[in-house]
Amino acid sequence: MSEWPPSRSCRTTSIKSDSDPAPGFREKQVVKKDALPKNIKVFAYSGYKADERPTAFVVDDRRYGVTRIIDRWYGVDHDYFKALADDGRIYLLKWDRTADLWFLVEVMEKEGKH
């Protein structure tokens, strides 16, 4: 029978390194990487709950329409959306529900080029 909690000799390793942002994706410099996460303005659909999903967002005075939500996941205080924008790039957006703020977390290369 193994002991719980594990002994100090037990270690964990990170699956994702800082140098590999997302396997299979090439980054496109829409925003400098060191400027992320960046606070942005988001227009969202509010159905049965507030800010249910983003419909458009503004980065550096340029408006991007969301053509499709590829993925979404919910945390304790934040909601994340992987959104395909009208420029063909994929954007990872984060909504801080507590502060009611939106952030651009990551920009990925165009869909289909991974």
Domain that holds residue 69: 33-108
Task: Establish if 7 belongs to a structural domain.
Answer: no
Residues with Cβ within 8 Å of residue 86, at least 6 apart in sequence: 64, 65, 66, 67
Q: To 5 degrees, how large is the angle CA 15–CA 89–CA 34? A: 55
Average pLDDT over residues 10-38: 50
Asked whether residue 25 is domain-assigned, the answer is no
| Exposure string for 47-62, b = 16+ CB within 10 A, e = fewer | eeeebebbebbebeee
Mean pLDDT, rounded, for 3-23: 37
Q: Which of 64, 66, 46, 63 is nearest to 55 (CA)?
A: 66
Q: How many domains does the chain have?
A: 1
Asked whether residue 74 is assigned to any structural domain, the reply reads yes
CB 108 within 8 A of CB 91: yes
C-alpha closest to that of 94 among 106, 110, 78, 112: 78
**pLDDT per residue as tens digits for the range 43-98:** 999 888 888 999 999 999 999 999 999 999 999 999 999 999 999 999 999 999 99
Note whether residue 2 is domain-resident.
no
Residue 21 maps to a domain: no
Domain for residue 69, yes or no? yes
